[in-house]
A and B are shown apart, each in its own frame.
Chain A
Amino acid sequence: MNPRARIILGGLAAVYMLVVLRAFHIQILGVRGIQERSARQYPVKIPLVPMRGAILDRVGNELAVSVATKSIFIQPDKLKSTDSVAELLARRVSRPVSEIRKLLSSKKSFLWVKRQMPSSSAEEAVREIREAVGTDKRGGDDGIGIVEEPKRFYPNRELASSLLGFTDLDSTGIEGVEKSLDKYLKGEPAFLMCERDARGRIIVPSTTEVAVNSRGDSVSLTIDRNVQHLAESELREAVEGHNARGGIALVMRPKTGEVLAMATLPTYNPNAVAGGAPEARKNRALTDMFEPGSTFKVFTLAAAMEMGNVKTSDSIFCENGSYRYAGRVLHDTHGKGWLTVPEVLKYSSNIGASKISERMDPDRFHDMIRSFGFGTKTGIELIGEVGGIIPPRARFGGIRRATVSFGQGISVTPIQMATAMSAVVNGGKIMKPYIVREIRDPEGKVVYRGEPKELRRILSPKTSERMREMMGLVVQEDGTGTQARIKGFSVGGKTGTAQKVEVGTGKYSPNKRVSSFVGFLPLQDPELMILVVIDEPKGQVYGGVVAAPAFNQIAVKTAYYLGIPPTEPVTRAVARKEKEAQKPGEVQLTRVSSGAPEGAMVMPDLRGFSMGRVVDVMGRYSVKLDLVGSGVARHQVPAAGRLLVPGTECSVTFGGS
């Protein structure tokens, strides 16, 4: 060959080798700048709702869970849209056709049509649309698809709704526990990873059903679902029975500050938030202030006793019901003459309380009120709490001090009242109220544990004991709270009835009242602190009549449910209940006649009962009740007809109906 031809051929071969080397450099060795740019230019992240953590009660029952739903998206630039597609889509997702048409003609490259639909109906809708536009049934990049997204679901509907709160469509907590603990529950942001072309159009991966990996922490509350349920149903009975505007019931453990139930009325269904009134959504146990009325006398007496200004043996002259003081006349409902200090509480004498408060230094009394926690937030983990209003220290004298001594001219929240009252009876310690039992990350590791926290000591154990005894008198014969009495347990408590301050005028309303009862049991070693507040009852307004019966029912059922050992023989109680139970269709409670231990009963057949009904029925026995699962009762231990002794452990398993 011509040597010059060899040069040309060789030259071309050499250039080819250079090309191969260059390609080797870029393709095999890799150039970081190019690779980074490549990695940067395709990905598009479409935010999805992360799998929110569950809210559980203290034994693991689900109060709020996230369930898998399907969301339908369209890509208007890819979907062959016709009028029939718009109509089909509109019908399937129940949105107006005009709206769907607008979506279909949008310039955006990714749009949600309907979010969080039931899986089957979303799939059916997409299948139908695909048939209509004639694309492969299995889909692909045809402009319509499904992405899995979780939706918040509250299996117990209204139960604890104002406490739990709710979330918006994007799984952000809006109220209640959902909002307060949002940072734990929410989980890491989740994304649908897509790619885009150079024109910004989004290419959704062919497997559009993306599992959501991101999960939030689950929160276990101190709430017990069954206690919450019975507190709510008893509260409802009281509110409806007295045509009241609303009500609040709190069940706490006075020794620890744990909240076992926090019920408010009116209520709403958090699964359909749109239907709930704003009034129903707030957690009134924290946000509502009320003038406590007579229940506040407990604190006046406790303060005076603690500071040594009175002794239980002291007698107070109660002016036969009418007492002129600092230019005003104080009245008692039932005028009395000389009363001992415990009797002042038992008969709830305003004049007596006022005279006791006169014995105290106003500043020190004021300090004590603050120490009880009034005027400041309790610090419970929930948002929206208010601090209440107490008169300023500088103007805390004369008539103002006198009215505060019996609960007027001071505003408190239910949680403050329950917390302060717990301190009075638990030996004198202010326990910080708490509602979060523990928080676990998705792997089950505990990231937070709620523990009892003593904030400060305000009373000596001796004063506390005296106060318990005095409050026990309130429910005794001719006290104001006789309806709070429970057979089987010795209880203590205090009634309260206060005029409401009219919003706007700031004056006392002539007929609107807040009736309350705060009580605890057992008297000597309190395990339960229960507060019932009824807002604007009609007809009867006295706390001892309106709120005490609800307290009674909550207390007896909770005590039996939790297996708190009775302090008194229960035979009489059962006998009385037995008579009440003899209604058609009701469970027959059979007392075992002879040879059986005192108070022994026979286990009824619970199968087919709802959990609420089981709690109602079993609440009449002094047994330990263990409820497992949800739905209707399927299985029980012991079997129907077996002997029940107080303290027996009963287990009922629930299942789907």
Chain B
Amino acid sequence: MNIGKRHENLILFFCTLILSVLGVVVVFSATSVTAGSSVRLGNDSAYFFKRQVLFLVLGASLAVLLTRIDYDLYRRRIWLLVLGTLGLLLLVFIPVVGHTANGASRWINLRAFTFQPSELAKFILIAFAAWVIDRNGENPRKGFSAFLPVLVVMGVFVAAILKEPDFGMAVVITASLLALLFIAGFPWKFLAGGFVVGLIGVVYLIASKPYRIKRLEAFIDPFSQAQAAGYAVVQSLIAFSNGGLLGTGIGAGKQKLYYLPEIHTDYIFSVVGEELGFAGVVAVGACFLILVWVGFRIARRARDLFGRYLAMGLSTVIGIQALMNMMVGLKMLPPKGMVLPFLSYGGSSLILHLAAMGVMINISMKGAEAFVSDSDRRGRRNWRTRFSGDSSC
């Protein structure tokens, strides 16, 4: 299939628009009743809705801005970004500055809002990996050692994120980076070794926290402890079950009536399943899959290796996170706190994911420009000339 750059940008734009606008609607549906009867939120049934709309506007503005900023900036300033993000990541552990909710210190307190640095870290680590690959080239002769800086920096970040703790985010980051390195030619044997080490690490991490064991038990047989650890999973399944083929209709779901905890963040997909049914589930999943696919198309014609791997990395991380969130909601993975990109309520998540789409479009635009002007600063045009037939676009 041959689609031009403009079409790719349009598809990317519409997928993002559909997902984030649907997110605003579903967040409103999921929270209006509970927020409306919450004295803490001033009985404002539109509390979450209004904030999510604000985040959408901010994120869209940022995305538009980023389409205008050459992504080469991130390559040149990569260490500033990495160290700055690491600094933010460590801020969450400082009292007063850090904001703790549900026993996790994942946020920086900004008075009316909170900021979640791990959402930023996710994207910065992708950029860092792209930078390393850009420096060493694909399938480097040095082999494993060429990727070592990525693994080291990732190790530091993941350690900090696990300390928060944010197990889900750590898994998403690790999986996405490993996928990216795999594409770049990371040796099989090290990948296999890394997988074994990672597995041992995961088992250790689960065993080290009783609540993770509980979650795992609840995952294996949620109905046995439907009122305790398995509660959320069971309620999520009930939401999907209630939805049927076409759903109860927007606003008509029942699971938002305090049945499903964290419904506007971790379990927003369950609301989609309940109110829009199987059709909604398929459509939302398809949007994400198309988004990843288009991201990979953009990567193929990127101006340089940095842009190429940045585009693939951003697509991969969004795709992996979305699928993992869906799998948790459908009890295909053990529960872990993780939002659904674009749809879940949350400023950091929505704004940064929209920003990532802005960067993606910039990569797409620069790739096309580079082709037309035929000027390649870094002299790596050979992989791109294969697609000269696309010039008419």
Kindly list chain A residues whose C-beta atoms are within 8 Å of the C-beta of B238.
34, 37-38, 41
B185 within 8 A of A: yes
Contacts of B289 in A (CB 8 A): 12-13, 16
- Classify the interface of chain A: helix, strand, loop or mixed: helix
A363 within 8 A of B: no
A214 CB → nearest B CB, Å? 27
Q: Is the beta-carbon distance between B242 and A19 smaller than 8 angstroms?
A: no
- Inside 8 A of A508's CB, which chain B residues have their CB? none
Across-interface contacts of A31 in B (CB, < 8 A): 237, 241
Per-residue CB proximity of A403-443 to B under 8 Å, as 1/0? Answer: 00000000000000000000000000000000000000000
- Say how far B3's CB is from chain A's closest CB, in angstroms: 14
> Which chain A residue shows the least CB distance to B34?
A197
Would A26 and B285 count as touching, CB distance under 8 A?
no
CB of B245 within 8 A of CB of A26, answer no
Contact status of A27 and B257, CB under 8 A, knowing A5-B183, A5-B312? no
A503 at the interface (CB under 8 A from B): no
Q: Is the CB of B240 within 8 A of A27?
A: yes
- Name A27's contact: one of B37, B281, B296, B327 (CB within 8 Å): B281
Decide if B254 is an interface residue (CB 8 Å cutoff).
yes
Chain B 278-297 interface 0/1 with A at a Cβ cutoff of 8 Å (1 = within): 10011001101100110010
B320→A28 contact, CB < 8 A: no
In the complex, the answer to whether B245 meets A28 with C-beta atoms within 8 Å is yes
Chain B residues with CB below 8 A from A18, complex form: 327, 332
Task: Pick from A2, A26, A77: contact of B237, CB below 8 A.
Answer: A26
Cβ contact of A38, chosen from B183, B242, B245, B327, cutoff 8 A:
B242
Residue B226 is within 8 A (CB to CB) of chain A in the complex: yes
Which residues of chain A are within 8 angstroms of B288 by Cβ–Cβ distance? 16
Contact of A12 among B240, B300, B323 (CB under 8 A): B323
Question: How distant is the Cα of A22 from the Cα of B329 in the complex, in angstroms?
Answer: 11
User: When the two chains form their complex, are residues B185 and A19 in contact, meaning their CB atoms are under 8 A apart?
Assistant: no
Q: Is A20 an interface residue (CB 8 A)?
A: yes
Q: Which of these, A20, A37, A195, contacts B282 with CB under 8 Å? A: A20
- Across-interface contacts of B292 in A (CB, < 8 A): 9, 12
Of A1, A24, A34, A35, the most chain B CB neighbours within 10 A belong to A34
- Taking a contact as CB atoms under 8 Å apart, the answer to whether A197 and B245 are in contact is no
Q: Is residue B47 within 8 Å, beta carbon to beta carbon, of the partner chain?
A: no
B316 at the interface (CB under 8 A from A): yes
Our pick among A22, A30, A198 for the contact of B257 (Cβ within 8 Å) is: A198
Contacts of B179 in A (CB 8 A): 8
- Residues A16 and B243 in contact, CB atoms below 8 Å apart: no
A8 to B277, CA, bound (A): 28
Q: Which of B244, B245, B254 contacts A42 (CB 8 A)?
A: B254
Cβ of B167 under 8 Å from chain A: no
User: Does B326 lie at the interface of the complex (its beta carbon under 8 Å from any beta carbon of A)?
Assistant: yes
- A residues 36-54 in Cβ contact with B at 8 Å: 37-38, 41-42
Minimum CB–CB distance from A250 to chain B (whole Å) comes to 61
Shortest beta-carbon distance from A166 to chain B in Å:
42
- When distances are taken between beta carbons in the complex, the residues of chain B under 8 Å from A34 are 234, 237-238, 240-241
B258 within 8 A of A: yes
- B59 contacts the other chain (Cβ, under 8 Å)? no
Interface residues of A in 484-533 (CB under 8 A from B): none
Report yes or no: A20 in contact with B277, Cβ–Cβ below 8 A: no
Query: Does B259 count as interface, using CB distance less than 8 angstroms?
Result: yes
CA distance A509 to B226 in the complex (A): 75
State whether the Cβ of B117 lies closer than 8 Å to any Cβ in chain A: no
Q: How far is the CB of B351 from the nearest CB of chain A, in Å?
A: 24
Within 8 A of A (CB), among B31-75: 33, 37
CA separation between A13 and B22, bound complex, in Å? 22
Q: Which residues of B contact A38 (CB under 8 A)?
A: 238, 241-242
The reply to whether the CB of B182 lies closer than 8 angstroms to some CB of chain A is yes
**Cβ B185 vs Cβ A26 within 8 A:** no
B282 adjacent to A23 (CB under 8 Å): yes
Minimum CB–CB distance from A196 to chain B (whole Å) comes to 8
CB-nearest residue of chain B relative to A20?
Answer: B282
Q: Which residues of B contact A22 (CB under 8 A)?
A: 327, 330, 332
Closest to B238 in A: A38
Q: Does A274 contact B (CB under 8 A)?
A: no
Compute how far the CA of A22 lies from the CA of B277 in the bound complex, rounded to whole angstroms. Answer: 13
Contacts of A2 in B (CB 8 A): 138, 183
**Closest chain A residue, CB of each to CB of B176:** A8
Contact B223 A26 (CB under 8 A): no
Collect the chain B residues with CB atoms within 8 Å of residue A30's CB: 241
Please measure, in the bound complex, the distance between the C-alpha atom of A35 and the C-alpha atom of B243, giving whole angstroms: 11
For B231, give the chain A residue with the smallest CB separation. Answer: A198
Q: Verify A5–B277 contact, CB threshold 8 A.
A: no
Instruction: Flag whether B319 is at the interface (Cβ < 8 A).
Output: yes
- Contact yes or no, A19 B183, CB < 8 A: no
A198 to B263, CA, bound (A): 13
**Given A12-B320, A26-B240, A34-B241, A20:B296 Cβ within 8 A:** no
A8 touches which of B37, B183, B234, B323 (Cβ 8 Å):
B183
A8, B257: Cβ atoms closer than 8 Å: no
Query: How far does the Cβ of B45 sit from chain A's closest Cβ, in whole Å?
Result: 12
A265 at the B interface (CB under 8 A): no
A304 at the interface (CB under 8 A from B): no
Q: How far, in whole Å, are A235 and B300 apart by their CA atoms in the complex?
A: 109
Q: Are A28 and B258 in contact (CB under 8 A)?
A: no
Query: A4–B330 Cα gap in the complex (Å)?
Result: 28
Query: Is B273's CB within 8 Å of the partner chain A?
Result: yes
Q: Does A15 contact B (CB under 8 A)?
A: yes
A19 touching B330, Cβ below 8 Å: yes
A328 at the binding interface (Cβ < 8 Å): no
The interface bits of chain A over 38-74 (1 if a CB of B lies within 8 angstroms of the residue's CB, else 0) are 1001100000000000000000000000000000000
16 extra A-B contacts, CB within 8 A, seeds A35-B241, A37-B223: A9-B293, A12-B323, A18-B332, A19-B281, A19-B285, A22-B332, A27-B241, A27-B245, A30-B241, A33-B223, A34-B238, A37-B234, A41-B259, A77-B37, A197-B257, A197-B259
- The 21 sampled A-B contact pairs (Cβ below 8 Å) are A1-B296, A16-B285, A16-B288, A19-B281, A19-B323, A19-B327, A19-B330, A20-B282, A23-B281, A26-B240, A26-B241, A27-B281, A28-B245, A31-B237, A34-B240, A37-B238, A38-B242, A78-B37, A197-B257, A197-B259, A198-B257
Residues of B within 8 A of A (CB): 33, 37, 138, 179, 182-183, 185, 223, 226, 234, 237-238, 240-245, 254, 257-259, 273, 277-278, 281-282, 285-286, 288-289, 292-293, 296, 299-300, 312, 316, 319-320, 323, 326-327, 330, 332
3 closest A-B pairs by beta carbon, nearest first, are A197-B257, A198-B258, A27-B278
